[in-house]
Amino acid sequence: MAHKHGHGRERIQFANAEDKQEFSKYPTKAGRRSLSRSISQSSTDSYSSAASYTDSSDDETSPRDKAQVNTHGSSDFCVKNIKQAEFGRREIEIAEQDMSALISLRKRAQGEKPLAGAKIVGCTHITAQTAVLIETLVALGAQCRWTACNIYSTQNEVAAALAEIGVSVFAWKGESEDDFWWCIDHCVNTEGWQANMILDDGGDLTHWVYKKYPSVFKKVRGIVEESVTGVHRLYQLSKAGKLCVPAMNVNDSVTKQKFDNLYCCRESILDGLKRTTDIMFGGKQVVVCGYGEVGKGCCTALKALGAIVCITEIDPICALQACMDGFRVVKLSEVIRQMDVVITCTGNKNVVTREHLDRMKNGCIVCNMGHSNTEIDVASLRSPELTWERVRSQVDHIIWPDGKRVVLLAEGRLLNLSCSTVPTFVLSITATTQALALIELYNAPEGRYKQDVYLLPKKMDEYVASLHLPNFDAHLTELSDEQAKYMGLNKNGPFKPNYYRY
């Protein structure tokens, strides 16, 4: 005879004593429902986006199957809905207010058109901030075709606004894997137009052109890459002697690395976690995998809100930095059972394995702040004994047979761009750096750059920083002739040797 057990106003019937014990182990809604193991929506079903407020979730036709034209009669683009263009224009105008450096670069160089004749194919996050960069490149004389480097981060209305002004954009939020490569291919492969510059984030576009269109690849004047992952892939190509064009590693330019990786993640990690899970950080046990610039930024923010943070590291120097900053350095397997939140930012793969996931406690939140979605072994979770439940946009609960659930954010993809936004000001720094790198490579005299990966010259790094100082009403001190001579410097910079670490 089954006995009844009141739980608040709900009455749940247990078939046997084990179920009752099972129930008390996870006293959450999850526990209650896991008895009748819910068959949940699979995460490949389409769902409407929360971030893009003009989306209509009832329109399920794939953008690939829709014939759309902009008001100029062009149909050389593929976006969710070209009618959203004026919403997108408003987003871009708002972004411009916080990207004054890029606008001032646009004004300074508009006359001489340093990118006249440049045919740039780009693969980045398509957001209002990127649009300001793309429109700057167009104002400087370039023709642009653009696609998304992340299947979730595209702002549909911004893509529409770009398509409206004649930029061939192939991107929408929530693309499938197949759509992703289809978009890249349509960007590169078009009649009567051949790219001579590549701007990439993550290396997927570079890889595609290299593999599928080697003749285009060989004729490109330069590649500009902005992510750790993409830069790693470029160095691999270079090492194998297969990089036949000069490439600019923007990721490791000081302005990009310190600001985009460190200061930006310091602000956006909390934003992404709050928006998706409403978590309170005080007293939570958090492990951050990797103590590079991104890891340092995340830890600073988490510690400030009272979280108890520990670090995993492979590099003894970064590990010692973490120790000096007051964090425990541990192996993931030693602490995984106690953790409330697990954050990866290593740029590596399989940092969080199925074994780790199996050992996590109920309700543990798992997310990734690295560019690539390889850090958490998400594929291993798509197995028949686990139930996936989509609880809100970009939040999945993965439920084990015993009722334990793990909260996975953005299916292991980049948290801040998939689940929240990134401060515009920081993107202004990265975008200005990208624009200068493109101008530099495009206009470099024959032979200045060999077939290799280069860092942005320090003078340009300093220039990017100086363009952003007016925002803060910051006043730089100038060296006197005597001081400059004493230090052995040019009064106008560069002010530090190349080996200086900021």
Is 296 annotated in a binding site? The answer is yes
Q: Binding residue per annotation — 313?
A: yes
Q: Residue 297, annotated ligand binder?
A: yes
Token code pair at residue 414: 């980049």
Q: How many CB atoms lie within 10 A of CB 332?
A: 19
* Residues with Cβ within 8 Å of residue 33, at least 6 apart in sequence: none
Which residues, 6 or more positions from 259, have their beta carbon under 8 angstroms from its beta carbon? 426, 429, 430
**Annotated binding residue at 295?**
yes
Q: 489 in the Ramachandran plot: left (φ > 0), alpha (ψ -120 to 50) or beta? A: beta
435 CB-near residues (< 8 Å, 6+ apart):
102, 105, 133, 136, 137, 140
Q: Which tokens belong to 253? A: 């330019």
Among the listed residues 156, 160, 96, the one whose alpha carbon sits nearest the alpha carbon of residue 129:
96
Q: Is residue 256 a known part of a binding site?
A: yes
| 452 marked ligand binding residue | no
Pairing outcome for strands 4-7 and 143-148: unpaired
* 294 belongs to an annotated ligand binding site: yes
DSSP string for 191-207 = TTB--SEEEESSSHHHH
Cβ 357 vs Cβ 366: under 8 Å = yes
Q: Between the CA of residue 132 and those of 100, 263, 327, 452, what are the distances in Å? A: 10, 21, 39, 29
The C-alpha atoms of residue 423 and residue 162 are separated, in whole angstroms, by 21
- Rounded to whole angstroms, the Cα distance separating 81 from 176 reads 17
Q: Are 172 and 54 in contact (CB under 8 A)?
A: no
Q: Which residues pair with 260 in a beta bridge?
A: none
Report whether 226 belongs to an annotated binding site.
Answer: yes
Consult the annotation and say whether 201 binds a ligand: yes
DSSP 282-333: TT-EEEEE--SHHHHHHHHHHHHTT-EEEEE-S-HHHHHHHHHTT-EE--HH
Binding site for NAD(+), by residue number, is 292-297, 313, 416
Binding site members for substrate: 127, 201, 226, 256, 260
Binding-site positions read: 127, 201, 226, 256, 260, 292-297, 313, 416
